[in-house]
Amino acid sequence: MITRFAPSPTGYLHLGHAYSALYAYDLAVANDGEFILRHEDIDSTRVREEYYGAIERDLSALGITWKATPLRQLDRLAFYMEALEELKSLGVIYPCFCTRKEIREEVAGMGNAPHGPEGALYPGTCRKLSAEEARSRVIAGDGHCWRLDAQKAASLAGALSFSDHFYGTVTVDPCLLGDVVLARKDISTSYHLAVIVDDAHQGITHVTRGSDLLAATHIHRVLQKLLKIPEPLYHHHPLILDRQGQRLAKRAPGATLRELLDSGRNHGEIAAEVRNLLK
What local confidence, expressed as pLDDT, does residue 180 receive?
97
Q: Which helix (H) or strand (E) holds 237?
A: strand 233-237
Q: Answer whether CATH 3.20.20.150 is correct for domain 1-69+241-279.
A: no
Q: Which helix (H) or strand (E) holds 169?
A: strand 168-171
Residue 276 has pLDDT above 90, yes or no: no
Confidence band of 243 (pLDDT split at 50, 70, 90): low
CATH class for domain 75-202+214-228? alpha beta
In tens, the pLDDT along 219-236 reads 999 999 999 999 999 999
The bridge status of strand 119-120 relative to strand 115-116 is antiparallel
Confidence band of 237 (pLDDT split at 50, 70, 90): very high
Whole-Å CA distances, 91 to 37, 85, 224 = 34, 10, 16
Residue 70 has pLDDT above 80, yes or no: yes
In tens, the pLDDT along 144-166 reads 999 999 999 999 999 999 999 99
Q: What is the mean pLDDT of residues 173-199?
A: 95
DSSP at 36: E
pTM of the complete model: 0.91
What local confidence, expressed as pLDDT, does residue 78 receive?
97
Q: Is 142 exposed, middle or buried (0-12, 13-18, 19+ CB in 10 A)?
A: exposed
Q: What is the mean pLDDT of residues 31-57?
A: 95
Delimit the domains of the chain by residue range: 1-69+241-279, 75-202+214-228
CA dihedral 131, 134, 138, 140 (to 10 degrees): 110
Side-chain half-sphere CA neighbours of 97 within 13 A? 14
